[in-house]
Amino acid sequence: MKMRRLGPDGPTVSVIGLGGMLLSITGRPPSDQAMRVIRMALDRGITLFDTSDAYCLDEHDMGHNEQVLARGLEGHRNRVTLVSTVGLRRPGGAWTVDSDPEYLTESVHRSLKNQAVECLDVVNLYSPDRRVPYEESLGALARLKEQGKIRYIGICNADLSLIRRAETVTPIQVIQNRWNPQHREIEREGVLAHCVETGKALMGYAPFGGTLGAPTLTTLGKLSDQARRRRLSPYQLVLSWMTNKAPVTFITPGARRPESVEDSSGAGSVDFDSDAVRAVENTLPAP
């Protein structure tokens, strides 16, 4: 598994991580299976985990994913990095944005308890909240960082203008945006280039297009043919393209089964040169 620094001065972590959401939302696996998924990730050299207090069923289940990961990572916590997203609520199972500073502070303290730590590794703000100035939301996280509750701050779902606004408030370590063969806005709109220029980590989520998009990967142009030639699964080919596209990229595919983690993690040791990256891109829809 290849390792690289998560942001300008962050920890060194695996280029392939594990997204925790599928272990906690509707359709989540039994607890023993979730533990096997996490153990497989550890066995395969994964040290980057994506979580949130809102990865759960509804408002009565908040913190489920953080608690699952805390159990699965017991005894290994000091060698892994958790990226925790805040700013979401789950009323009745819906997803709603709440970036009010008071709620963000509440969420961080809840995450500290759920993860059984004194300082969160990385906290990402999910998105702007039209009811609250973006700078006020980030200011709340900056204050928690000053108090020693957060080590690094990141933002999700951010275009260049939002990134620049965030940078006026606090150092930004991580940008976590959607990125997959059918959604390549980060390439087209300059977000990836900005991360390369500044050293920020680019964490791509939904690399296969989500649970509905993943089955369509094999229909994208000549992707399957190229995967066979390289003796990779289509999913490994996509992940290999993404992690070799730039030296700042990290991908966190979710999984409900250990076998999925085993397959995805195999991409973490694949090296593509620029010609191989272009060859993959030639099989994909235009960015």
Question: Which residues span the domain enclosing 55?
Answer: 3-210+246-255
When divided into structural domains, the chain yields a total of 1
Residue 179 lies in a domain: yes
Asked if residue 219 lies in contact with residue 171, where contact means CB atoms within 8 angstroms, the answer is no
Alpha-carbon distance of 192 to 251, in angstroms, equals: 13
Residue 231 lies in a domain: no
DSSP characters for 10-24?
--EEESB-EE-GGGT
Q: What is the pLDDT of residue 285?
A: 74
CA 83 to CA 153: how far, in whole Å?
9
CATH of the domain at 81: 3.20.20.100
Predicted pLDDT of residue 225? 83
As a whole number of angstroms, the distance between CA 9 and CA 27 comes to 37
* pLDDT in the model for residue 284: 81
Predicted local distance difference test score (pLDDT) of residue 142? 98
pLDDT tens, residue by residue, 111-153: 999 999 999 999 999 999 999 999 999 999 999 999 999 999 9
b/e map of 160-183 (b: 16 or more CB within 10 Å)?
eebbebbeebbebbbbbbbbbbeb
Low-confidence ranges of the chain (pLDDT < 50): 213
- Please check whether residue 277 lies inside any domain of the structure: no
Three-point CA angle 69, 71, 73, nearest 5° = 65
Answer whether residue 284 is part of any domain: no
What is the pTM (predicted TM-score) of this model? 0.94
pLDDT score of 214: 53
| 270 occurs within a structural domain | no
At 230-245, the pLDDT tens digits run: 999 989 999 999 999 9
In-domain check, residue 156? yes
The candidate with the shortest Cα–Cα distance to 35, out of 257, 252, 268, 260, is: 257
**In-domain check, residue 26:** yes
Nearest CA to 16 among 279, 262, 243?
A: 243
| Residue 34: inside a domain | yes
- CA dihedral sign of residues 273, 15, 256, 126: negative
Contact between 59 and 98 under an 8 Å Cβ cutoff? The reply is no
Reduced to 3 states (helix: H, G, I; strand: E, B; else coil), residue 87 is coil
- Ramachandran angles phi, psi of 117, nearest 5°: -130, 165
